[in-house]
Amino acid sequence: MNIAKKRIVVTGGAGFLGQRVINLLVEKGVSRNNIFVPRSNDYDLMVWENCKKVAEDADIIMHLAAKVGGIGFNQKYPGEAFYDNSIPGMQLMEAARIAGVEKFVIMGSVCAYPKIVSVPFKEKDLWNGYPEETNAPYGLAKKMLLVQAQAYRQQYGLNAIYLLGVNLYGPGDNFDPESSHVIPALIKKVKEARDSGRDHIDVWGTGSASREFLYVDDAAEGIVLATEKYNNQDPVNLGSGMEITIRELVETIAELMDFKGEIRWDRSKPDGQPRRCLDVSRAEKEFGFRAHTSFRDGLRTTIEWYEKQRS
């Protein structure tokens, strides 16, 4: 698909990932006048009429918007995590179908995978169990959009594609402790401890759980490549293929931020899913995507951005 002349809707386009996607679309030749970002104040996608308005003139819809956070957020707001991540996407896809939108791109989540599954996660294993309990409402809400996309392709011929993303990080991330993911939460925690001269930090869990992270600019590249080149019903993992334990992550952040204090593990708090690492071969095969930012370089850039902002 040549996207240069297309009218493109990007939900979440004002956010951390969405801004990068829009910048990349412009680099690809899409006019900013042809990119529409429905802001929630004006176009609440919980409202059906707003979904119809958003879809009516679109050639492509990229549904990137999500209400998301870390383990604490998901434990505190499971109802919102389910409802607010399912209804807008479902309604918008239905509106896209009615309006004859050419392509509907969905950013799903690694949280849709079963709690226990062989590593690296392969797309074929997506239905082999129930998601990890602390993020199941969010993961299942996102997973239902895959079901809808495949059903709409079968019945209506809607060209809907589904990408399974891992945790993103990078400059501009959400550092609010109420809703941030693990990397920004740890960077904030370490900076505050270092700057105040504290001799330790407390971190949730045991440190044994593993995660995979994808630099936000790489994620944007993968989404745009899929929009241009991928047209099949099968979900596609979008990640770096790199696995790191939370313990290694904390130690790396402490090293890069020159924090010499003790790391104390609060074992009364949950680890979340035991392991996370994706098989990313399908993305490379189908649309030529491979993450190119090394984790250490991406982490250093993120830390430097945050330090500059806070100063």
- Among left, alpha and beta (phi > 0; psi -120 to 50; other), residue 197 is left
The alpha-helical segments, DSSP class H, found in 199-269 are: 216-229, 246-256
Confidence bin at 311 (pLDDT 50/70/90): confident
pLDDT in tens, 30-73: 999 999 999 989 999 999 999 999 999 999 999 999 988 878 88
- Catalytic positions, written as ranges: 138
Determine if the peptide bond prior to 78 is cis (ω within 30°).
Answer: no
Please tell me the predicted confidence (pLDDT) of residue 178: 81
**CA 292 to CA 95: how far, in whole Å?**
36
Q: Which residue has the tokens 């709409």?
A: 152
Note the pTM of the prediction, 2 decimals.
Answer: 0.94
Nearest to residue 210, comparing CAs of 144, 276, 300, 263?
Answer: 276
By the 8 A CB rule, do 188 and 175 touch?
yes
Distances from the Cα of 46 to the Cα of 49, 150, 192, angstroms: 9, 22, 38
Q: Which whole number is the average pLDDT over 139-145?
A: 97
Q: Which whole number is the average pLDDT over 111-117?
A: 94
Structural domains of the chain, ranges and CATH numbers in brackets: 8-169+213-242+276-292 (3.40.50.720)
Tokens of 12: 């979440």
Question: Residue 131: beta bridge partners?
Answer: 114
Please tell me the predicted confidence (pLDDT) of residue 180: 86
Residue 230 confidence (pLDDT) above 90: yes
